[in-house]
Amino acid sequence: MLKDATYCLETFGCQMNVLDSQLIEGQLRALGMRPVATAHEADVVLYNTCSVREHAEQKVLSRLGVLRRIKRHQPEKIIGVIGCMAERAGKALLANMPHVDLLCGPGELNQLPALIEEVHARHEQVAALAGSLSRRTEVLQRALEYDSLEALDLARRPAPGQNVLQSYIRVQRGCDKFCTFCVVPFTRGAERSRPPAHIVDEAQMLVDHGAREVTLLGQTVNSYLHQQGGNPVSFAKLLERVHAVEALDRIRFVTSYPADWDEDIFRVMRDFPRICPYLHLPAQSGSDRVLKAMRRPYSAAGYLNLIDKARRYVPEISLAGDFIVGFCGETEQDFQATLELVRRIEYKNLFVFKYSPRPGTVADRRLTDDVPDSVKTRRCNELLAAQLELGLAQKQRLIGRTVEVLVEGFSKAARRAQQAEQERGGEATKDFSRQLVGRSRGDWITVFDGDAGLIGALVNVQLERATPLALQGRVVSVASPPRMPAARRESAHVSLPVLAAG
Ligand code: SAH
Ligand code: F3S
Give the tens place of pLDDT for each residue, 3-23: 899 999 999 999 999 999 999
* Mutational pocket test of ligand 1: of 182, 349, 350, the residue with most ligand atoms within 8 Å of the beta carbon: 182
What are the tens digits of pLDDT across the range 280-289? 999 999 999 9
Distance CA 238, CA 264 (A): 11
Are the beta carbons of 114 and 90 closer than 8 angstroms?
no
Is pLDDT at 145 greater than 60 in this prediction?
Answer: no
What is 402-491's CATH number? 2.40.50
Angle at 394 between CA 381 and CA 431, to 5 degrees: 85
Whether this model's pTM surpasses 0.85 = yes
What are the tens digits of pLDDT across the range 93-114? 999 999 999 999 998 898 899 9
Nearest CA to ligand 2 atom 7: 177
User: What is the distance in A from the centroid of ligand 2 to the CA of 177?
Assistant: 6
Is pLDDT at 236 greater than 50 in this prediction?
Answer: yes
Average pLDDT over residues 45-49: 98
Is pLDDT at 497 greater than 60 in this prediction?
Answer: no
Structure confidence at residue 485 as a pLDDT band (50, 70, 90): low
User: What is the distance in A from the centroid of ligand 1 to the CA of 169?
Assistant: 20
User: What is the distance in A from the centroid of ligand 2 to the CA of 167?
Assistant: 23
Distance CA 134, CA 281 (A): 28
Share of the chain above pLDDT 90, in %: 80
Strand segments (E) across 411-457: 435-440, 445-449
Is pLDDT at 136 greater than 60 in this prediction?
Answer: no
Distance CA 174, CA 165 (A): 26
- What pLDDT score was predicted for residue 160? 74
Is pLDDT at 60 greater than 60 in this prediction?
Answer: yes
Nearest CA to ligand 2 atom 2: 179
Structure confidence at residue 148 as a pLDDT band (50, 70, 90): low
Nearest CA to ligand 1 atom 5: 52
Average pLDDT over residues 239-248: 97
Structure confidence at residue 417 as a pLDDT band (50, 70, 90): confident
Fold for 6-140, please state it: Rossmann fold (3.40.50)
- What pLDDT score was predicted for residue 433? 83
Ligand closest to CA 371: 1
Question: Could you identify the atom of ligand 1 that is nearest to the CA of residue 361?
Answer: 22
Distance CA 254, CA 165 (A): 18
- What pLDDT score was predicted for residue 155? 85
> Any idea which of 120-134, 241-255, 297-311 has the lowest mean pLDDT?
120-134
Distance CA 189, CA 139 (A): 5
Kindly give the interhelix angle for 196-208 and 486-493, rounded to the nearest 10 degrees.
40
Q: Strand pairing partners for 403?
A: 461
Give the residue among 84, 67, 97, 101 at the shortest CA–CA distance from 20: 84
Cα distances from 457 to residues 212, 331, 408, 438, 460, in angstroms, run: 9, 49, 8, 10, 10
User: What is the distance in A from the centroid of ligand 1 to the CA of 485?
Assistant: 36
Distance CA 216, CA 206 (A): 13
Domain ranges of the chain: 6-140, 163-397, 402-491
- What pLDDT score was predicted for residue 1? 74
Distance CA 305, CA 345 (A): 10
Around 181, how many Cα atoms within 13 Å sit in the side-chain half-sphere? Answer: 25
Ligand closest to CA 219: 1
**Which residues fall within 8 angstroms of residue 163, CB to CB, at 6 or more apart?**
none
Structure confidence at residue 427 as a pLDDT band (50, 70, 90): low
What's the distance, Cα to Cα, between the start and end of the chain in Å? 58
What are the tens digits of pLDDT across the range 172-199? 999 999 999 999 999 999 999 999 999 9
Cα distances from 360 to residues 12, 132, 138, 173, 502, in angstroms, run: 21, 10, 14, 20, 68
Question: Could you identify the atom of ligand 2 that is nearest to the CA of residue 183?
Answer: 1
Nearest CA to ligand 1 atom 6: 219
Q: For ligand 1, which residues put their CB under 6 angstroms from it?
A: 14, 52-53, 181-182, 184, 219-220, 255, 282, 284, 322, 324, 353, 355-356, 358
User: What is the distance in A from the centroid of ligand 2 to the CA of 255?
Assistant: 10
- What pLDDT score was predicted for residue 494? 36
Structure confidence at residue 168 as a pLDDT band (50, 70, 90): very high
What is 163-397's CATH number? 3.80.30.20
User: What is the distance in A from the centroid of ligand 2 to the CA of 52?
Assistant: 10
**Which residues fall within 8 angstroms of residue 81, CB to CB, at 6 or more apart?**
46, 47, 49, 60, 64, 89, 93, 100, 102, 103, 104
User: What is the distance in A from the centroid of ligand 1 to the CA of 14?
Assistant: 9
Ligand closest to CA 354: 1
- What pLDDT score was predicted for residue 489? 46
- What pLDDT score was predicted for residue 271? 98
Phi-psi category of residue 255: left, alpha or beta, with phi > 0 → left and psi -120 to 50 → alpha: beta
Give the residue among 332, 438, 426 at the shortest CA–CA distance from 382: 332
Ligand closest to CA 51: 1
Q: For ligand 2, which residues put their CB under 6 angstroms from it?
A: 175, 177-179, 182, 184-185, 219-220, 257
Distance CA 137, CA 294 (A): 20
Is pLDDT at 413 greater than 90 in this prediction?
Answer: no
- What pLDDT score was predicted for residue 358? 97
DSSP 3-state of 346: coil
What are the tens digits of pLDDT across the range 439-468? 999 999 999 999 999 999 999 999 999 999
What are the tens digits of pLDDT across the range 253-268? 999 999 989 999 999 9
Distance CA 28, CA 35 (A): 9
- What pLDDT score was predicted for residue 422? 81
Instruction: Output the average pLDDT for the chain.
Output: 91
Is pLDDT at 152 greater than 90 in this prediction?
Answer: no
Question: Could you identify the atom of ligand 2 that is nearest to the CA of residue 52?
Answer: 1
